Amino acid sequence: MSGIAWVNGRMVKEDECCLCIRERGFLYGDGLFETVRVYGGKPFAWERHLARLAAGCERLGMPCPGQLIADGTREVLGTLGPADGSLRVTVTRGEAPRGLLAPPGTKPTVVITAGEGEPYPQEAYERGFRAVTVSFPRNQLSPLVRLKSLNYLENLLGKQEAVAAGADEGIFLNLKGEVAEGTISNVFLVLGDRLIATPPPESGLLPGITREWVITLAVKLGYSVCEQPVLPQDFLRAQEAFLTNSLLEVMPLVDMDGTPVGTGSPGPVARALRDAYRKIVVNSFDRHESGPVAL
């Protein structure tokens, strides 16, 4: 599928003008989004993504148009068919008169798009990602840190820096100099004897849904897992590192700021967890479950 989107109840072409100039998502970034991996035409961990979206809407003080999202998702996935790909749900506060605050009763806007294909080629997992430290900090005190909001310029600037440096990802440090998250990912390190550490949410990160899955899977596979502050120098002593998000799944991180992480090649823990993650995907659809299932 290419060039098709669903906007407020109807399918439209990608280049069709279909949003008002008073749309608050455009004017103020006043909205949220979720990106969901689709396997065989089915969105994975759908209920968890919806729950996070609903919680974000509540935090912003705007209604979550659940039925509209359900209707649009059904129609878009029907167009996608039994393919692998990705789905994006965008919800904004909607159209409103000029002014910082929208009047009560403003109707949310819902935009849903989907695309076919594997988001990242197999060669990327065989090579692993390279990352650099972003030059400006992530403010762990900001309420936006815990929202999947449309205010994404910090992430965009961080990603620009990474690409300009020849890297695949940029890693944010918080105001205390601790590792927070990547521009599109959560960060894990393998430290010591079968220990996997990830920064806690208090370090300034959005706890990803794939991050949650990986923590569950790692414990099931016998690894000890902890949330603890991570410092940049911890990459120097890590046996390996990896990144997670819904599209990446589990991506090895082999180089940080020009220095190899571990052996400088994808490690066995990242491979084991990605294999387990894929198995969970199959099992969850077979059992019609959205939460962690037994390996």
The domain locations on the chain are 4-116, 122-286
Q: Which two tokens stand for residue 88?
A: 């994006």
Considering Cα of 203, then 205, then 209, then 215, what sign does the dihedral take? Answer: negative
Enter the CATH code of domain 4-116.
Answer: 3.30.470.10
Would you call 288 exposed, middle or buried from its count of C-beta atoms within 10 A (0-12, 13-18, 19+)?
A: exposed
pTM assigned to the model: 0.94
Mean pLDDT of 124-134: 98
Average pLDDT for the chain = 93
Q: Which two tokens stand for residue 66?
A: 């659940």
Residue whose token pair is 């069709």: 16
Q: Give CA–CA dist 246/280, Å, rounded.
A: 13
Enter the CATH code of domain 122-286.
Answer: 3.20.10.10
94: left (phi over 0), alpha (psi -120 to 50) or beta: left
Q: Is residue 291 very low, low, confident or very high in pLDDT (cuts 50, 70, 90)? A: very low
pLDDT tens-digit profile of 68-78?
A: 999 999 999 99
